[in-house]
Amino acid sequence: MATITPAAAPTEEAKPRITKERLRRSLRIFDYVWQYRWLFALSFVILGLSSLVFLVLIQLPGEALNIYNGKGKYGLTVDEVFQLLAALVIIQAPLSFYRVRIQAIVSERSMAALRKELFAKMLHLSVPYFERSRVGELSSRITNDITQIQGVFSLTLTEFARQIIILIGATAFILFTMFRLALVSLIVFPVVVIVAMFFGRYVRKMTKARQEQLAQSNVIVEETLQSISTVKAYTNEDFELARYGRSIDESVAISIRTANARGLFSAFIVSVMFGALFFIIYRAILLVQSGNLPVGDLFTFIVLTGIIGGSVASLGSFYGEIVGALGASDRVVDILESQEYEGVEQAADGAGPPVPSESGEELITTAFTGAIDYQRVVFAYPTRPDVTVLRGIDLHVAPGEKVALVGASGSGKSTIVKLLLRFYPVTEGHISIDGHDIESFDLEPYRDQLALVPQEVLLFGGSIRENITYGKLDATDEEVRAAARQANALDFIEAFPEGFDTLVGDRGIQLSGGQRQRVAIARAILKDPKILLLDEATSSLDAESERVVQEALDNLMHGRTSIIIAHRLATIRNVDRIYVIENGTIVESGTHEELSVRPHGAYSALARLQFDLAE
């Protein structure tokens, strides 16, 4: 299990105020809608027409009452009014249909583009970024946050605009036709807007806090399920359930506080708006009794006033959802504008694809032979800059040579390999291949010429074929079979009823450790790398599995520059050179025979211990 402490809070603190800079960054999400701007604009044109039709529809029943009482304004009969009413209803139906359809097209396609670019950005972020972040938080950005943003584009934004149009249209109508009654509404409206802004700001803060708390809950779920065997082995199901329960309870508490704020706002709206509405109706009845207001106009006014009250009440809720989505978009933009691209820097404006950095010189894309040189390499992990892991490493590997790294855990062996893979830049010194600094190579073609077989192989949850072809996506069936044969994997694969189409389960859980290793070796064989990196590839296997896997590794290393990290010295007796690492420095180097005869050498001590135990 990665940790048993509660999920860490996101690095960014909640900022409830909408500053100009935060608004600008959040509105970058509109870039994805901009490519559908004409459809988006058309949906708002249809929305405007639909809203105007709705306002006309509301007035027609009142006009029919006026006609019945002999006070009609437009020279229409009751039949003509209801014929017009039916025609407008027929017009309204297709307007509503096409508005919803167009907005769905815009929101779905634009948010799909955003999801793709966000995932692409995540894939190209540097390894230190992932060490500081947690998988649950990142997955929450691409799921929960974008879903919240999509909800605004697909519904909330248009409904917000619709209510504003209805509010303005209804207010304008009663203002010009029934001024004395409209006066009270105009007095109430600014007060409600101010209160709505206040509550909306608070709701945004609480909504963002809830989203972040849910992201932390996702982290707990992912950590627990990824380490389910450990959880069960230590019977910590109740502990994990309690940990998840506390996180969910916190999100519930935040949601309830948010609901309290919304409830207070709703209570305010009900009290003020309905109190004002009843007072206005009272004044309207007095005007009707005095003959200064037709009954039909009273009916229209009551309906429009109710609509105005409903619009104002909904504006607060919609505003809260919109500013909540601004918080979600802010977190998404944090990732999109991150400067931590792997191997390259991002464009100056934070947008677009990565561009070469440093001097602007053209990066090397040609194949190399595999001569590796570490020159006085010093390194400390970015997350632990005060701890120096490598201290002046000098190491040379000739093309086609097999070199082993041995030493105690934590001595820096795996770090040497990670630096060659360019997971991190060196702190001091240089690493070169064929005389060129590795940073001068274009990253993708550079890594295409390296292959890593780790100690713990985590396969993808698809088929064996899909896992092997991950080394060469366009490989033919014959190439896949040949790679499996060289990896000593063909026999066990064909023993499965579904052969290469056998599903391996999550992280390859349905295969044994030795089978997973051989699938990983087949993947590396199919990639046909110039440089092979083996990180204790047999240390966790039983004797028989180790023998089979070692044969496969020997096939894989043939003719390739190889760096082998090993704890079991018996697997590296025949390598060309062995480097012994202690506390981040090379203390010895030589062949197995040379190092074994040194009476007080670090390697000979390890050899005596292991081989004596073996005997």
pLDDT tens track for 452-482: 887 777 777 788 888 888 878 888 888 888 8
For residue 223, the enclosing domain spans 20-336
Residues 58, 128 within the same domain = yes
Quick one: pLDDT at residue 448?
Answer: 84
User: From CA 58, how far away is CA 44, in angstroms rounded?
Assistant: 21
Burial of 57 (0-12, 13-18, 19+ CB in 10 A): middle
**Amino acid letter at 223?**
E
Which of these ranges, 113-122, 538-547, 597-606, has the smallest mean pLDDT?
538-547
Residues 238, 328 within the same domain = yes
Q: Which residue has the higher pLDDT, 349 or 200?
A: 200
User: From CA 480, how far away is CA 484, in angstroms rounded?
Assistant: 6
Residues 391, 460 within the same domain = no
364: left (phi over 0), alpha (psi -120 to 50) or beta: beta
If you average pLDDT over residues 412-416, what whole number do you get?
87
At residue 350, does pLDDT exceed 60?
no
Q: Is residue 341 a part of any domain in this protein?
A: no
Q: Identify whether the C-beta of residue 65 lies closer than 8 Å to the C-beta of residue 295.
A: yes
Q: Which residue has the higher pLDDT, 327 or 355?
A: 327
Q: Which residue has the higher pLDDT, 78 or 86?
A: 86
Which of these ranges, 442-446, 449-453, 567-571, has the smallest mean pLDDT?
567-571
If you average pLDDT over residues 3-7, what whole number do you get?
37
Residues 614, 594 within the same domain = yes
Q: Which residue has the higher pLDDT, 25 or 583?
A: 583
Residue for token pair 């605004």: 152
pLDDT in tens, 63-72: 777 776 666 6
Quick one: pLDDT at residue 184?
Answer: 64
Quick one: pLDDT at residue 13?
Answer: 38
Q: Give the pLDDT band of residue 358 (cuts 50, 70, 90).
A: very low
Q: Which residue has the higher pLDDT, 264 or 543?
A: 264
Q: Which residue has the higher pLDDT, 374 or 125?
A: 374
Q: Give the pLDDT band of residue 345 (cuts 50, 70, 90).
A: very low
Quick one: pLDDT at residue 224?
Answer: 82
Q: Is residue 204 a part of any domain in this protein?
A: yes
Quick one: pLDDT at residue 477?
Answer: 86
User: From CA 74, how far away is CA 95, in angstroms rounded?
Assistant: 26
Residue for token pair 């029934």: 178
Q: Give the pLDDT band of residue 11 (cuts 50, 70, 90).
A: very low
Residues 150, 234 within the same domain = yes
Residues 393, 310 within the same domain = no
User: From CA 332, how far away is CA 465, in angstroms rounded?
Assistant: 35
Residues 520, 420 within the same domain = no
Which of 528, 544, 571 finishes a domain? 528
Which of 500, 528, 556 finishes a domain? 528
Alpha carbon 326 to chain centroid, angstroms: 16
DSSP-assigned beta bridge partners for residue 564: 404, 534
Please give the mean pLDDT across all residues of the chain. Answer: 76
Q: Identify whether the C-beta of residue 561 lies closer than 8 Å to the C-beta of residue 531.
A: yes
Q: Is residue 10 a part of any domain in this protein?
A: no
pTM: 0.63
For 379, the 3-state DSSP assignment is strand
CATH of the domain at 203: 1.20.1560.10
Q: Is residue 8 a part of any domain in this protein?
A: no
Quick one: pLDDT at residue 325?
Answer: 74
222: left (phi over 0), alpha (psi -120 to 50) or beta: alpha
User: From CA 539, how far away is CA 545, in angstroms rounded?
Assistant: 10
Residues 38, 128 within the same domain = yes
Closest to 154 measured CA to CA, from 332, 298, 33: 33
Q: Give the pLDDT band of residue 355 (cuts 50, 70, 90).
A: very low
Neighbouring C-alpha atoms within 13 Å toward the C-beta of 286: 8
Q: Is residue 5 a part of any domain in this protein?
A: no
Which of 336, 353, 380 finishes a domain? 336
Quick one: pLDDT at residue 7?
Answer: 37
Residues 192, 143 within the same domain = yes
Residues 152, 233 within the same domain = yes
Torsion angles phi and psi, residue 599, rounded to 5: -65, -35
What is the side-by-side strand order in the sheet with 561-565? 450-453, 531-535, 561-565, 402-406, 577-582, 585-590
Quick one: pLDDT at residue 538?
Answer: 61
Q: Is residue 13 a part of any domain in this protein?
A: no
Q: Give the pLDDT band of residue 614 (cuts 50, 70, 90).
A: very low
Quick one: pLDDT at residue 20?
Answer: 66
What is the b/e burial string over 487-521, where b = at least 16 CB atoms within 10 angstroms of the residue's CB?
A: bbbbebbeeeeeebebebeeebeebebbbbbbbbb
At residue 6, does pLDDT exceed 50?
no
Q: Is residue 92 a part of any domain in this protein?
A: yes
CATH of the domain at 465: 3.40.50.300
Quick one: pLDDT at residue 189?
Answer: 62
Residues 375, 288 within the same domain = no
Quick one: pLDDT at residue 14?
Answer: 41
Count of residues in the chain = 615
Residues 408, 290 within the same domain = no
Q: Is residue 353 a part of any domain in this protein?
A: no
Quick one: pLDDT at residue 70?
Answer: 67
Q: Which residue has the higher pLDDT, 306 or 576?
A: 576
Number of domain units in the chain: 3
Angle between helix axes 37-68 and 78-124 (nearest 10 degrees) is: 160
Q: What percent of the chain has pLDDT over 90?
A: 0
Closest to 353 measured CA to CA, from 524, 28, 123, 138: 123
